[in-house]
Amino acid sequence: MTTVLKLGGSVVTDKDRPEALDGPALDAAADAVADALSSGDVDDLVVVHGGGSFGHHHASEHGVSTTEGTRDAGAVVQIHGAMKTLDEFVLARLHDRSVPAVPVHPLSVASRDRGGDLSLPTRGVETMLGEGFVPVLHGDVVAHEGAGATILSGDEVVTAVAEGVGADRVGFCSTVPGVLDGDEAVIPEIRSYEEVADLLGGSDATDVTGGMAGKVRALLDLGAPATIFGPDDLRAFLAGEQPGTLIRG
């Protein structure tokens, strides 16, 4: 059983300060992952983390988004470098807890075609899983045909890797406890976009990497059930429970 877990950038970093880690939040997440692996609740696990105050800060400084590219190699290296710095923190906190985490940097393997469609080969990730490793991927900057290099969100990485390895469960640990209805209550399950279109439609226009509307749409198309939950529910998700919002198309 393969699980793909995204740790939102806003969960593990302090989004108000450039390149600032939220150490206690990352520790709590690493504890939950380590405990789930050692108890056998989770066997094959892929971790993906977002950019938070590392990636987004440099991306906006250079005017790079998922669609606006750059041909400035220095900008590419700076955005990627910030993501690698965050990745080193994530890996170190996992290693402190004996989680066999190994890095996979999307810039080195992924690309977008002219239409923006992503190609992310996952054979390496599958082999790592087979050998008992926990591959750790992240949002990044990637080569984009006709545009130089654009931002690849961690959510897109999750979708591509989940499809590539045939994941059984997908979890998004984010700052919200799930998809919220008009009364700020968590919607337990979403089976079609129509059910939530009025709530989500258009409200996320300023989020360059998609926002909740884009996320829900992408997850409805995914072959595996996906769950969006807050940090307090990470342990429950890893234990096989269904906290937050379950999205299944």
- Name the residues that contact ligand IPE, by CB under 6 A: 8-10, 50-52, 55-56, 59, 79, 83, 139-141, 151, 153-155, 209
Nearest approach, Cβ of 98 to ligand IPE (angstroms)? 26
Nearest approach, Cβ of 180 to ligand IPE (angstroms)? 17
> Alpha-carbon distance 223 to 9, whole Å?
24
Kindly write down the DSSP assignment for every residue of 126-171, as one continuous string: HHHHHTT-EEEEE-EEEEETTTEEEEE-HHHHHHHHHHHHT-SEEE
> Alpha-carbon distance 83 to 105, whole Å?
9
Which residue's CB is nearer to ligand IPE, number 154 or number 230? 154
Backbone angles phi, psi at 130, to 5 degrees: -60, -30
Strand-strand pairing, 140-144 and 111-112: parallel
Which residue's CB is nearer to ligand IPE, number 9 or number 135? 9
Nearest approach, Cβ of 214 to ligand IPE (angstroms)? 10
- Reference 66, options 81, 53, 55, 78; nearest CA is 55
Which residue's CB is nearer to ligand IPE, number 43 or number 221? 221
Which residue's CB is nearer to ligand IPE, number 69 or number 154? 154
> Alpha-carbon distance 221 to 151, whole Å?
21
Which residue's CB is nearer to ligand IPE, number 81 or number 239? 81
Nearest approach, Cβ of 80 to ligand IPE (angstroms)? 8
**8 Å CB contact between 21 and 63:** no
Nearest approach, Cβ of 129 to ligand IPE (angstroms)? 21
Which residue's CB is nearer to ligand IPE, number 99 or number 157? 157
User: What DSSP state is assigned to residue 5?
Assistant: E
Nearest approach, Cβ of 60 to ligand IPE (angstroms)? 8
Name, in order, each residue with C-beta under 8 angstroms of 69's C-beta and a sequence gap of 6 or more: 144, 147, 148, 149, 150
